[in-house]
Amino acid sequence: MHPMQIAIIVSAYIGTAAILGIIGRRRTMGGWGYFFGSLVLTPVIGLLLLLASGRRATDS
């Protein structure tokens, strides 16, 4: 595999994890939780976790 292809795949992987972290900011695990969860468990599992979780309870 060419080094440029590897760089594109790694960038897409990290970018997808970052997008899931941004979407998950107001969810139970928080943005960083979904970001690191997606990095460790793959973005597909991170998406499933995001869809299965509920919104964070507000303090108001």
pLDDT digits (tens, 9 = 90+) for 3-56: 999 999 999 999 999 999 999 998 988 899 999 999 999 999 999 999 998 887
Helix axes 3-23, 30-41, angle to 10 degrees: 150
Separation of alpha carbons 32 and 18, rounded Å: 9
21 neighbors 47 (Cβ within 8 angstroms): no
CA 38 to chain centre: 4
pTM (2 d.p.): 0.83
